[in-house]
Amino acid sequence: MAEIATAIGAIVNRLATLEPYPADRFHGRGIVVCAGGAQMFVNAYVLLRLLRDRLRCALPIQLWHLGPRELSPVMRVRLEELDVELVDARVVQATHPASIADGWQLKPYAILQSRFQEVLLLDADQVPVRDPAEVFEWQQYRENGALFWPDIMDLAAENPAWALCGLEPRSCTSLESGQVVVDKRRHWAALHATMHFNEEADTFYRLVYGDKDTFLLGWLMAQAPYALVPHRPFIDARCLTQRDFDGAPFFQHRTHAKWSYGGPQIQLPNFVHQSACETFAADLRRVWNGRLFFPPERGLAARGLEDTLAGQRMRLIQFGEPDLELEFMPGHQFGAGRGRALQNWYVADAGEKLELVLRDLQQDTYRFVQHPDRQWSGSRLAAPQNEVLLLPAGEAVQQSHGDGLIADLVAASGLSTCSSVEAEAELLAALRLIDRTKPGVADRLRAYAERRSGRNPDLRQSLARIAQRLSTPPPVTRQVLRATEMLERYYRRTWQSS
């Protein structure tokens, strides 16, 4: 009884002390997807390619992940090419704390903290039949402000969750959370109640399957209305096909038929867009090796040289062997020329020099230093340890923008999620220091904003303000001078000497 009283009291107190809906933080409609790690990245990429290239979905999309190690640099590049905003929940937690340990808990948090007022949450292993943007226009959603789909089972009246929530026991349809549509302005309290259940996962996940019925309990606790599609999903052992209000297939949730990197892909009867999704997975294999690679810590000069090399083609000359053309792709990976010994690349700090390092999946395989004539000389680290050369081989790869450092700083600032004076000031300070060592940051920031913030007007305006202030000399203080001198010394020692 004490446990029940404590649980009920915590939920009631959270709702009673809830701050009003912050209307100035959230605007417009958008899609939120939660994914991280190699396996879920494959599924998310196929979903996002389908939305953009096949279904022509024009809604802004955010992909949320838990920490910087869930998405490698090349994975970020592939998603940003699809005009997808990447949001690190760990960065957002610094200003909006919550207890999140896994992807299930992340889903309601991403809904709450995304920059959209109206959110369509999609699991990464979804394949919509039609452009899902239409759900925002359905009459049932417009009347209720929240839309759910039924699961294949019910929440039984005997479930202890009812008592823990202080709700009258009943048998009712469970909600399947692979897709959720909600207007946060109208359901702020219900979302916070749902978030509470997910933060108490050790208690509630034992009683309901993961996060799905936490939405049901949250809405009932807040006494909030919602629309429920009246048709149960079509059931396959590997896929739930959710329907629209007329009963037609709408969302294909591949719960046990996730897309794989290597294939072959699982074939499902009557599945829509199978061929297109297989093509997208094959496209991904050509531009990503299926591994999470993170270069080691390195300085500004090394990062700057990486931005210069990204998108270049180089000719690898190994004496006694055929020449090999290498495509240095953004994100530290090779395109053309990728092979067992040539998977990833980065620039390393090596004393007063910079070294270009090529790797296989586990270790360094080549190291080079650059000469004034743009040639690189070095050695193969595996036997036979021959001398090798790298020479420029032609045109840069299209759509290579060298956004690495700027993209990382913008992501770390959290501006893609929520614009704030503090975040703008922090990003401005970081970019000013870089601009003093490598001028032209304001122009690069404007170009980045033009490419990457097309569906995020708040981010575009924030970056425009920062770029304008970067073009205006700041007041010079003793601390600024000291920091500038330090960076300039480092810059001269590394970048220019290379």
Q: SS3 for 103?
A: helix
CATH entry, 300-392, from 3.30.450, 3.40.50, 3.30.2320, 2.40.128 = 2.40.128
Short-list 435, 430, 433, CA closest to 411:
430
Q: SS3 for 121?
A: strand
Handedness of CA 112, 114, 119, 120 (dihedral sign): negative
DSSP secondary structure code for residue 329 in this structure: E
pTM above threshold 0.75: yes
> How do the pLDDT tens digits run along the chain, 498 residues long?
566 667 778 888 889 999 999 999 999 999 999 999 999 999 999 999 999 999 999 999 999 999 999 999 999 999 999 999 999 999 999 999 999 998 899 999 999 999 999 999 999 999 999 999 999 999 999 999 999 999 998 999 999 999 989 999 999 999 999 999 999 999 999 999 999 999 988 888 888 888 889 999 999 999 999 999 999 999 998 999 999 999 999 999 999 999 999 879 999 999 999 999 999 999 999 999 999 999 999 998 999 999 999 999 999 998 888 999 999 999 999 999 999 999 999 999 988 889 999 999 999 999 999 988 778 999 999 877 788 999 998 644 444 455 667 777 887 787 776 667 878 888 888 888 777 766 778 887 887 777 766 678 888 888 888 888 888 766 656 665 666 566 666 555 554 444
Short-list 247, 260, 252, CA closest to 235:
252
- Report the pLDDT value the prediction gives residue 498, as an integer from 0 to 100: 44
* Residue 231, token pair as written in the block: 């048709």
* Residue 211, token pair as written in the block: 């996060």
Tell me, rounded to whole angstroms, the distance of Cα 272 from its chain centroid. 26
- Report the pLDDT value the prediction gives residue 431, as an integer from 0 to 100: 84
Residue 325 phi, psi dihedral angles, 5° rounding: -85, 130
Tokens 């230093």 belong to which residue? 369
Sheet holding 146-155, edge to edge: 84-88, 61-65, 29-34, 118-123, 172-183, 146-155, 227-228
Domain map (residue ranges) of the chain: 2-251, 300-392, 404-496
Per DSSP, helices labelled H in 222-353 are 274-287, 300-309
- Report the pLDDT value the prediction gives residue 496, as an integer from 0 to 100: 47
Range 2-251 classified under CATH 3.30.70: no
CATH topology of 2-251 equal to that of 300-392?
no
* Residue 257, token pair as written in the block: 């038929």
Short-list 56, 61, 48, 124, CA closest to 280:
48
Q: Taking a C-beta distance cutoff of 8 angstroms, is the pair 327, 397 a contact? A: yes
What is the separation, in whole angstroms, between the first and last Cα of the chain? 71
Alpha carbon distance 314, 390 (integer Å): 6
